[in-house]
Amino acid sequence: MEKIVVLNSGGFDSIVLLHYYYYILGEKNLISLHFTHGEKNEREQLECAEKVCDKLNIPSKVIHLPSFDWTKGNFYNEKFIDAKSSYLEYRNLVFLAYGISFAQAIEASTVGLAILGGQESYIDCSPNFLYNVENISMMANIKIDTPFSCRSKESLGHIVKYLKIKRDEFFSCDHPINNKPCGECDDCKNIEKIYRNI
């Protein structure tokens, strides 16, 4: 049976992806891999990443990375809530490199990540990027799986409903206030819309 290393940020997309794999494969074939890198919602996302593993009985590994302090974007800047200015240069290449190395070490066949349709404008979410990373990972027979890559965030609502994923199981806010979602950023608004419609 194939074993999948799932990149789990603790955010909405990752938590839905873990539930999706769990529903298809069961907990024995999954391992969660979470990264901290000094992000604004680091503590909340780590808590959610660990909580879902406890709930689904999935083993979890956490890697503490330094922050991307060379970034030109506003990812770490408390004042900015605009997601488009928060790009971290080639973040997914860094995360996938660790994921592929970890997968090879534990003899996993696949690294799964929650890239959605519509994110292609980011280089490290584009089909061409994923194709080329997989060219490297396939040298060790490790696939890159992105089952949501043709789906919108809103379309994940039916999985949320069917698998009864609760709002406190993930943390997606880019601009938390007192450790709580701000309700104003794009992520908060999208999540609100999804739960309103299910």
182 touches Zn ion (CB under 5 A): yes
Cα separation, 92 vs 104, whole angstroms: 18
Instruction: Identify the CA nearest to 17 among candidates 111, 109, 84.
Output: 111
Query: Which tokens hold the place of 32?
Result: 């969660």
198 touches Zn ion (CB under 5 A): no
194 touches Zn ion (CB under 5 A): no
Candidate segments 41-49, 132-140, 141-149, 165-173, binder of Zn ion by CB under 5 A: 165-173
Nearer to Zn ion, 159 or 182 (CB): 182
Q: How far is the CB of 186 from Zn ion (least distance, A)?
A: 8
Q: ∠100-104-109 over CA atoms, to 5°?
A: 85
18 touches Zn ion (CB under 5 A): no
Nearer to Zn ion, 136 or 177 (CB): 177
Candidate segments 8-16, 122-130, 145-153, 166-174, binder of Zn ion by CB under 5 A: 166-174
| C-alpha Rg value of the chain to the nearest Å | 16
Cα separation, 8 vs 129, whole angstroms: 19
Beta-ladder partners of 143: 110
173 touches Zn ion (CB under 5 A): yes
